Amino acid sequence: MALHEYECPACGGAMEFNPKSQKLKCPFCDSEFDVKDYVANHNSDSTGVSAEEYNTQSTDKDDNEMFIYSCGSCGGEILATESLGSMKCPFCSNNVVVKEKFTGKFTPDYIIPFTKTREDAMQAYSGYVKNKKLLPKVFAEQNHIDEIRGIYVPFWLFSATENFSGTYEATKVRTWSDSNYQYTETSHYSIEREGFEMFESVPEDGSKEMPDDLMESIEPYDRTAMVPFNMGYLAGFLANKYNVTADQDRDKALQRMKETISSNIRKTISGYSTLRPLSENCATRDESIKYALYPVYVLNTSWNGNNYLFAMNGQSGKFVGNLPWSLKQALKYYIPIAAGVAAAAFAVMMIAL
């Protein structure tokens, strides 16, 4: 394993990808470089040692296997999970990328670079927390907000054409009456539909660490901003290689396409009282798969024995969180309101008397 570093050619400082300028920037001397022009001039051949071998304590080989790298800049030992490929040295803040995690079969086809800065994410989080008045105070503390991290998450992008055919049974009901009787006329229809829809780049999360529902909730990403992968974009951010294969994600992606075309076809059938599908068939063709990295800011918190995760789309700024309600805070917040309402009701009664 070789570590790839982003040493500034002018002053030797650790450069970072800047979401605002979309360039590699040195925070020490302000030099900027186009990502595509930047060629790593400082690669150390620090070999990642499996923490397992290192400790000689044998544990089951699993995805939580840890690796130890030695920082080419300060010699410090960096401990990372097997899938983490881009990180910051905890000792000297040097930005390092483990080349093997993004080359060979792990080479991403595309990347959506961060366009939102870490400050944007911190602001969105603070705004969110401020609006949730029932939150425990710990969530709003600055040292906690500082733990927001920018991560590139691996995604599989599935493209395919779905051929759809369906048969349906529908009815139209007409009622009328004369002076003696009420009439109901039910007409039965047999409906057939055929069509195809081309799907492009349907994303499925390729990372076990990221909860699927969380990633789905911060979609969509604008894939027109997708660019060919270059390791320069990773500087200063965390990045994971995939640990869910395209094969494992494929069924889910195809299912999403099938549900979409089925619902779109059904929308073309209208004006009936009832509609019942008799058969719906889908055939997939022209399938292709690409591998891309998408930008996300995350904040992972444990509080009172529960885990809370907040995330922001690093491209659009869409923010989601699953914040807990604290009963203590709820009482503090609700009691004055309840008292106010009671007082108002009392005043109304007095006037009515």
Q: Applying CB under 5 A, does 95 fall inside the site for Zn ion?
A: no
What span, in angstroms and rounded, lies between the C-alpha atoms of 315 and 151? 12
Residue 154 CB burial class (10 angstroms; 0-12, 13-18, ≥19): buried
Residue from 51, 71, 160, 292 that binds Zn ion (CB under 5 A)?
Answer: 71
Q: Applying CB under 5 A, does 85 fall inside the site for Zn ion?
A: no
Q: Applying CB under 5 A, does 348 fall inside the site for Zn ion?
A: no
- Answer yes or no: are the C-beta atoms of 80 and 94 closer than 8 Å: no
Q: Supply φ then ψ for residue 235, to 5 degrees.
A: -55, 120
Q: Applying CB under 5 A, does 74 fall inside the site for Zn ion?
A: yes
Half-sphere exposure of 216 (CA within 13 A, CB side): 8
Q: Which stretch binds Zn ion (CB under 5 A): 16-24, 82-90, 128-136, 181-189?
A: 82-90
114: tokens are: 């961060």
Cα pseudo-dihedral 227, 101, 300, 156, rounded to 10 = 50
Q: Which stretch binds Zn ion (CB under 5 A): 9-17, 42-50, 239-247, 267-275?
A: 9-17
Q: Supply φ then ψ for residue 9, to 5 degrees.
A: -65, -25
- SS3 category, 215: helix
Q: Which stretch binds Zn ion (CB under 5 A): 8-16, 132-140, 197-205, 311-319?
A: 8-16
What span, in angstroms and rounded, lies between the C-alpha atoms of 31 and 24? 8
Q: Applying CB under 5 A, does 29 fall inside the site for Zn ion?
A: yes
Question: Total number of residues binding Zn ion (CB under 5 A)?
Answer: 16
Q: Which is nearer to Zn ion, 90 or 220 (CB)?
A: 90
Residue from 2, 3, 8, 160 that binds Zn ion (CB under 5 A)?
Answer: 8
Other Cβ atoms within 10 Å of 213 Cβ, number: 10
Residue from 20, 28, 173, 187 that binds Zn ion (CB under 5 A)?
Answer: 28
Q: Applying CB under 5 A, does 26 fall inside the site for Zn ion?
A: yes
List beta partners, residue 32. Answer: 25
Residue from 41, 63, 76, 278 that binds Zn ion (CB under 5 A)?
Answer: 76
According to DSSP, the β-strands at 238-240 and 149-177 are: parallel
Sequence-distant (≥ 6) Cβ neighbours of residue 304 within 8 angstroms: 136, 324
Q: Applying CB under 5 A, does 9 fall inside the site for Zn ion?
A: no
Q: Applying CB under 5 A, does 94 fall inside the site for Zn ion?
A: yes
Least spacing, CB of residue 51 vs Zn ion, in Å: 18
Q: Which is nearer to Zn ion, 28 or 54 (CB)?
A: 28
User: Closest Cα partner for 253 from 226, 294, 290?
Assistant: 290
Q: Which stretch binds Zn ion (CB under 5 A): 49-57, 64-72, 153-161, 245-253?
A: 64-72
Q: Which stretch binds Zn ion (CB under 5 A): 69-77, 130-138, 186-194, 204-212?
A: 69-77
Q: Applying CB under 5 A, does 89 fall inside the site for Zn ion?
A: yes
First to last CA, the chain: 85
According to DSSP, the β-strands at 227-228 and 238-240 are: unpaired
Least spacing, CB of residue 101 vs Zn ion, in Å: 18
Q: Which is nearer to Zn ion, 72 or 108 (CB)?
A: 72
Q: Applying CB under 5 A, does 340 fall inside the site for Zn ion?
A: no
Instruction: Provide the binding-site residues for Zn ion, judged by CB under 5 A.
Output: 8, 10-11, 13, 26, 28-29, 31, 71, 73-74, 76, 89, 91-92, 94
